[in-house]
Amino acid sequence: MEEDRFTDRELANKEISTAIAAANDHIGEAEDLLWKAADKAKQDEHAADLENVTRDVWDIQHTLLDLQEELES
């Protein structure tokens, strides 16, 4: 039986993809927490700032997803 062999590049891409997936999970959790905080702070002076940060986190999450798709193609 022939053993599967991966090139260094394939292994690196797999490691990068795994790291992106893990980071995306954490960022997704952070995004959820930030949206909840922004929702509770609707009348608070920090609500707009929280929403802006949450949108930035959302943008990062989608950039990571785009990168992961690029690696997998």
Q: Is residue 45 part of a domain?
A: yes
Alpha carbon 68 to chain centroid, angstroms: 10
Q: Is residue 3 part of a domain?
A: no
Question: What gap in Å lies between CA 66 and CA 45, rounded to an integer?
Answer: 34
Q: Is residue 8 part of a domain?
A: no
Q: Is residue 54 part of a domain?
A: yes
- Digit-by-digit pLDDT tens for the chain (73 residues) are 445 666 777 778 888 889 999 999 999 999 899 888 888 877 777 888 888 898 999 999 999 999 988 888 7
Report pTM: 0.68
> What is the domain count for the chain?
1
Q: Is residue 20 part of a domain?
A: no
What residue numbers bound the domain in which 39 lies? Answer: 28-73
For helices 8-40 and 47-72, give the axis angle rounded to 10 degrees. 160
Q: Is residue 47 part of a domain?
A: yes
Q: Is residue 12 part of a domain?
A: no
Residue 50 structure tokens: 């929280």
